[in-house]
Amino acid sequence: MRTIVRDKPSLLLDTCALIYASLSEAMKPEAMDAIKDASERSRLYVSPISAWEIGMLMSKRRLRSPLAPAEFLKRFLSAFNATYSGLSPEILIDSSFLPSFPHGDPTDRTLVATARNLDMVLITSDKPILRYGAEGHVRTLAC
């Protein structure tokens, strides 16, 4: 008898998950296992909007690193075998029309729209996004 294994989904890291992983911060074991597995399968993604957010955090000194933002992200992508997800006009437009989305943060809206449009699981610690996922609007995994 042959066992059929469904392909595991691609993962999209929220900016907070990217930061936690890059700084080896404590994360839930399920999230770390999923990130490791997606990394090994070349199915781990970072949104270009997170690159913008990393730049903003560093420019405001809310995230400190001896590396410039571009180098920080380059090293993260290499270390985690991750790549940038798509960010199309359709995703940006869809971020304006998310059903019942709990807040107006454009970065969070873009991340959720990206995960929905590209059929990814969004790894996040953002409680409103996790509740939104529990309502069935987007697949999420708490980190």
DSSP H or E segment with residue 83: strand 82-84
Q: Where are the domains of the chain?
A: 12-142
Mean pLDDT, the chain, integer: 93
CB atoms within 10 A of CB 60: 8
Please state which architecture CATH assigns to domain 12-142: 3-Layer(aba) Sandwich (3.40)
Residues 83-141 have pLDDT tens digits of 999 999 999 999 999 999 988 899 999 999 999 999 999 999 999 999 999 999 999 99
Instruction: Tell me the C-alpha distance between 36 and 31, whole Å.
Output: 9
Instruction: Tell me the C-alpha distance between 16 and 125, whole Å.
Output: 7
The dihedral built from the CA positions of residue 137, 114, 45 and 142, taken in this order, carries a sign that is: negative
